[in-house]
Amino acid sequence: MSTDPISRIEYLARALKAPRIKDVAQRLSERAREESWTYEEYLDAVLSVEVSQREASGTQLRIRAAGFPMRKSIEDFNFEHQPSLPHSTMAHLGMGSYLATGSNVVLLGPPGVGKTHLAIGLGIKACGLGYRVLFATATAWVTRLSEAQQRGRLQAELSRLRRYGLLVIDEVGYIPFEQEAANLFFQLVSSRYEYSSLILTSNLPFARWGDVFGDQVVAAAMVDRIVHHAEVITLKGSSYRLKDSKVPLLIPPVREPTDAEDPTSRGQR
């Protein structure tokens, strides 16, 4: 085997499965000589490159595996268009302390106000923090669970999903559930309670979730578990999709309810 240090480093970096060390070791050693770094400073610089690139590629892998329907970030959300949501609330959620305690985030509001956008933005932040994330619509979650149930593997699937720090359930309420589906959904919520986080989005206030789940008692028990540890955010206003639209609206914009009329507005902290 070669005794030339550069070839040795190449060989050792391959053996460690740390290919970037090979790429940066020589380049950084030249800089280290020019700038008189200590041995420790040099080793720190070389290892930092490997670790930060590993973390970045881990984040990218988690983002790809999460199944987001599109890439949206908190940074490209226009908070001026959504004065009901303070930027600081999202910035705080983006830091992810809710994930450590298995708390939830619920985004409520009419179509087009940015619920899915913010859910994806928070999901991407969670990936960056090292959490595994899965995104799907409520209907897709139910399909997935009912397939597991048919194979006699519902409990196994629920415990597998508990290994994900965050599940995003988009569009609760667009399509009402059959009783069986409502039951599966309830089991999903229960299996994560106080353990790992959910982000849910819905166009309906909690008071109308009974209609979605076809059963007021099941819906109440579920909402109870979801909001026990949750940040509930109620978005208001008109659809962002129609913001710059020149097409006259076929449906007149709905008058915004006052806080006194809106049963969800008290939930916002």
Q: Which of Mg ion, ligand ADP, none does residue 135 bind (CB under 5 to 8 Å by kind)?
A: none
CB atoms within 10 A of CB 115: 23
Give which of ligand ADP, Mg ion, none residue 125 binds (C-beta under 5 to 8 Å, depending on kind).
Answer: none
Give the nearer residue to ligand ADP in terms of CB position, either 82 or 183.
82
DSSP state of 134: E
Kindly list the distances between the CA atom of residue 108 and the CA atoms of 28, 48, 180, 205, 262, in Å, as whole numbers in the listed order: 51, 41, 24, 7, 11
Closest contact distance (angstroms) between CB of 108 and ligand ADP is: 9
Q: Does 14 bind ligand ADP (CB under 6 A)?
A: no
Integer Cα distance of 9 and 29 in angstroms:
12
Minimum distance, C-beta of residue 200 to ligand ADP, in the bound complex (Å): 12
Least distance from C-beta 237 to ligand ADP, angstroms? 9
Beta carbons of 209 and 173 less than 8 angstroms apart: yes
Q: Which of 116/183 has CB closer to Mg ion?
A: 116
CB atoms within 10 A of CB 91: 12
Closer to ligand ADP by Cβ: residue 8 or 241: 241
CB of 19 to Mg ion, least distance (A): 40
Beta bridge partners of 169: 136, 200
Residue 113: name its binding partner from ligand ADP, Mg ion, none (Cβ under 5 to 8 Å by kind).
ligand ADP
**Residues between 104 and 163 that touch ligand ADP (CB under 6 A):** 109, 111-117
Q: Taking the CB of residue 142, how many other CB atoms lie within 10 A of it?
A: 22
SS3 state of residue 36:
coil
- CB atoms under 10 Å from CB of 34, counted, come to 8
Among 46, 94, 106, 116, binds Mg ion (CB under 5 A): 116
Binding at 114: pick from Mg ion, ligand ADP, none (beta carbon under 5-8 Å per type): ligand ADP
Among 77, 141, 186, 206, which residue interacts with ligand ADP (rule: CB under 6 A)? 77
Residue 81 near ligand ADP by CB under 6 A: yes
Residues numbered 195-254 forming contacts with ligand ADP, rule: CB under 6 A? 201, 240-241
Distances in Å between the Cα of 42 and the Cα atoms of 11, 16, 35, 38, 82 are 19, 18, 10, 6, 48
The number of residues making up the chain comes to 269
Binding site for ligand ADP (CB under 6 A): 72, 77-78, 81-82, 109, 111-117, 201, 240-241
Binding site for Mg ion (CB under 5 A): 115-116
